[in-house]
Amino acid sequence: MERPIVQTALPYDYTKLVEDLRLLQQRYPFLELDSIGESVLGKPIPAVRLGIGPNRIHYNGAFHANEWVTSLLLIKFVEQYAEAYSSGKELNGKNSEELYRRTSLWIVPMVNPDGVELVHYGVNPEHPYYEQLLEWNQGLRDFSNWKANVRGVDLNDQFPAHWEEERDRRFVPGPGMRDYAGTGPLTEPEAAAMADFTKERDFGMVMAFHSQGQEIYWNYRGLEPKESEAMADRLAAASGYRAVKLTDSDAGYKDWFIQEFRRPGFTIEVGLGTNPLPLSQFPQMYSEAAAIMLEGLLLL
């Protein structure tokens, strides 16, 4: 095996993601790279496709800035899958060529690149939102608890699925590190890009990767298809995570996907601990998350 491209021992930022995608595509030219749109600060939001099959599947990560480990989990899975496919090997006991023929997997590894950069590097006076961000972060220069985008909007409270109820439940009056739903659904370019991308690609199933909790959320107000629960049980069995039926949560990406398309959508809470999760946990987290990503390819 060639030397791995994706290094998992160091924090993962947008620059590394873009570079890894370029190197992966060089080594594995069958990877298709695209961009779903741009962040508030104009960063292209990358997407990568593996597979040519009729089962259209989507995984995303880092909707929340301080959950950037999910980007690394997804991009490591891209590398492992591409390596297995290109060398005709199995992917954790599954036939990678068959997976590639049966499914088209689109991954958006970092939905919120501006937020991830903020968590890693904070702000300096050149940052276009310098003063607001310091104010919204209560004067703290440490942004490691930041979840939102750089306008202080929580991207996973932005979707038109009972958005008003989520806003009222959260009761966060203005921009901040977390839980502010914005002035309306899809006001933020990252959330709008995800909605457009999802509509265009006609996915049969989606998974949004978050951290932490070792849980799998599979329902939304009874609108999910009846097979969702059994699918969640399969994902739980593959990973050791718990399948959890949620109430009193709206306006998330998977909520909107289920409501809009009546197809299976899942939120996966990887790992256990305080965000950002330490990379000492990466091998364990990866074995659990990769088991879910692989099982996901077999669900449809």
Calculate ∠ Cα 58-62-63, nearest 5°.
Answer: 80
CB of 63 to Zn ion, least distance (A): 6
Return the number of the residue (81 or 143) whose C-beta is nearest Zn ion: 143
Least Cβ distance, residue 212 to Zn ion (angstroms): 9
Contact segment (CB under 5 A) with Zn ion among 9-17, 35-43, 204-212, 270-278 equals 204-212
Q: Is residue 151 within the footprint of Zn ion (CB under 5 A)? A: no
By CB under 5 A, tell whether 56 contacts Zn ion: no
Kindly report the backbone phi and psi dihedral angles of residue 163, in degrees, each rounded to the nearest multiple of 5, phi listed first.
-60, -40
| One residue of 143, 210, 243, 275 binding Zn ion per CB under 5 A | 210
Which one, 64 or 76, has the nearer CB to Zn ion? 64
Rounded Cα gap, residues 90 and 96, in angstroms: 5
| Cβ at position 11, least distance to Zn ion in Å | 17
Q: Would residue 67 show up in a list of annotated catalytic residues for this protein?
A: no
Candidate segments 125-133, 192-200, 202-210, 279-287, binder of Zn ion by CB under 5 A: 202-210
Q: Tell me which residue has its CB nearest to Zn ion.
A: 210
CA 281 – CA 139 distance, rounded (Å): 31
Size of the chain, expressed as the number of residues it contains: 300
Contact call for residue 254 and Zn ion (CB under 5 A): no
Q: Cβ closer to Zn ion: 155 or 290?
A: 155
* Four-residue CA torsion sign, 175, 177, 181, 187: positive
**Contacting Zn ion (CB under 5 A), which of 56, 64, 76, 162?**
64
Nearest in space to 268 (alpha carbons), one of 199, 224, 226, 213: 213
The region of 84-92, 207-215, 220-228, 238-246 touching Zn ion under the rule CB under 5 A is 207-215
Q: Cα separation of 25 and 71, whole Å?
A: 17
Residue 178 CB partners (closer than 8 Å, separation 6+): 64, 145, 146, 147, 148, 154, 172
C-alpha torsion 32→33→37→41, nearest 10: 170
Q: How many residues bind Zn ion (CB under 5 A)?
A: 3
Segment interacting with Zn ion, rule: CB under 5 A, options 10-18, 208-216, 274-282, 286-294? 208-216
Strand 205-211 to 265-270 pairing? parallel
**Closer of 198 and 249 to Zn ion (Cβ):** 249
Beta carbon nearer to Zn ion, 56 or 210: 210
The residue annotated as part of the active site, out of 190, 269, 288, 295, is: 269
CB of 181 to Zn ion, least distance (A): 14
Indicate the residue among 72 and 300 with the shorter CB distance to Zn ion: 72
Q: Yes or no: say if 131 and 226 are a contact pair by the CB < 8 Å rule.
A: no
C-alpha radius of gyration, the chain, whole number: 18
Nearest to 107 by CA among 296, 251, 270: 296
d(CA 293, CA 219): 18
Shortest distance (Å) from residue 252 CB to Zn ion: 9
Shortest Å distance, C-beta 105 to Zn ion: 21
Interatomic CA distance for residues 78 and 25, integer angstroms: 10
Which one of 13-21, 133-141, 203-211, 285-293 is the stretch in contact with Zn ion (CB under 5 A)? 203-211
List of residues contacting Zn ion (CB under 5 A): 64, 67, 210
Catalytic residues: 269
